[in-house]
Amino acid sequence: MNDLVNIREIESIQQLDNEFDLQKALLLDRKLRLLVKENPELKLIHDKLINLIQEYEQTHWKDSESIKEERFEEAEIAEILIEIEQKFITQRKEIIRKRLKSYDMNQTDLALLLGHNKSYMSELINGVTQFSMKDLVIIHRVLHIELSKLIPTYLHSETRERIKRTIEQLNKPKLTLRKKDLIIN
């Protein structure tokens, strides 16, 4: 699944690959249950997501006696990452809403500004679909919100480990990662 950028990409996904994908899918499932009521076109996507979750769980969590400790650790880390991601999305949503209010604007006005419809804007604000870089730059420029409040700068564990290995392989003494660069949040 590799870090969904757009909820509609679920249609092209064949399987969930790891515990992070599963946790992300479970979170999206909860959000989509609410959004399907206001946007019925999302029902097919939601159904596909449920199937992906069920297939992953059948494959990786069916036989509780054969589940290795690493799987539990991976699941725990994935839950922490999703929690951090959700905290960021919630904070970003509140910052955007407060700034909109200060300009006597609402979410529909922001949708018009970004060139989106109301239901898609709801998906963006609620973190079901990720903002494009263009959207975030517009929000930054027009609403004067710091980019660091709009764009998450943490790296997921797979990416952090890959970068760490690559830096070691490059063997460039001037290129180093500080410990804080590898921290989740």
Query: Beta strands of 18-155 (E only): which ranges?
Result: none
Q: How far apart are CA 22 and CA 41, in angstroms?
A: 23
51-73 burial, b if ≥16 CB within 10 A, otherwise e? ebbeebeeebeeeeeeeeeeeee
Concatenate the DSSP letters of all residues of 65-133 into one string. GG--HHHHHHHHHHHHHHHHHHHHHHHHHHHHHHHHHHTT--HHHHHHHHT--HHHHHHHHTTSSPPPH
Provide the residue ranges of all domains of the chain, joining segments of one domain with +: 7-153, 154-185
What pTM was computed for the model? 0.70
Q: How far apart are CA 62 and CA 120, in angstroms?
A: 36
Per-residue pLDDT for the chain (185 aa), expressed as one digit of tens each? Answer: 444 446 767 777 888 888 888 888 888 888 888 888 878 888 888 999 999 999 999 988 887 777 888 888 888 888 888 888 889 999 999 999 999 999 999 999 999 999 999 988 988 998 888 899 999 999 999 999 999 999 987 776 677 778 888 988 998 888 877 666 655 54
165: which DSSP letter? H
Residues composing the chain: 185
Q: How far is CA 139 from the centre of its chain?
A: 19
